[in-house]
Amino acid sequence: MDRLLYLVLLGFILASCNEKDSQQSQSESYPENLGQISFDASIDKEDFQLCDTSILVQSRRAIAYEGRDKALEEECRKQLNLSENETNYDGYIMARFLINCRKETGRIRLQTLDVQFLEQDCPAELKEEIRSCVLSLNKWIFTRPNNQGKDHSKFLNFKFSNGELQTIIH
């Protein structure tokens, strides 16, 4: 009986250790600042510079687009030229990016998901059009005075159905 109790107790201890190791490795895989997007020379422009890498504002209400959501969506729709290769795309293209204190956009990261939010491929031309559209957005306004002159993390989700842009969620 003592031996059985000892084995059960040892099993719980080992399971607990594995759980802690799993949680620790999981938390270590996230950057210290979740909104931070590290520079990647293969896709990022070197001239895009953050003003203060120790502070990154991540509030949806801290920065907006001049003319608000409608103006941002109109500007993107004008820029998107969907070709025949892209007309069958259904799903989302999620764009995460940074806006520096000079209201410049950079370090864009795209993720493509199907309608069930599972990773999927997307036509490269469409991804490039989305990247160009986001890079061209240059009418950002700081909506809170205490965030003036700070770098911001932002996201836009482009929803497509039958190859047509349905909406931009932000």
Which percentage of the chain shows pLDDT scores above 90? 26
pLDDT digits (tens, 9 = 90+) for 12-53: 555 555 544 444 444 445 455 555 788 788 888 888 888 887
pLDDT digits (tens, 9 = 90+) for 105-144: 999 999 999 888 899 998 888 899 999 999 999 899 888 8
Q: Is the pTM here over 0.75, yes or no?
A: no
d(CA 16, CA 13): 5
Q: Tell me the pLDDT band of 87, cut-offs 50, 70 and 90.
A: low
Ramachandran assignment for 162, one of left (phi > 0), alpha (psi -120 to 50 degrees), beta (any other):
left
Note whether 48 and 97 are within 8 A (CB).
no
Note whether 103 and 138 are within 8 A (CB).
yes
The reported pLDDT for the residue numbered 22 is: 45
DSSP 145: G
Question: CA triplet 17, 22, 27: central angle to 5 degrees?
Answer: 125
The larger pLDDT score, comparing residue 63 to residue 22, is at 63
d(CA 105, CA 86): 25
Q: Which two tokens stand for residue 145?
A: 């005075």
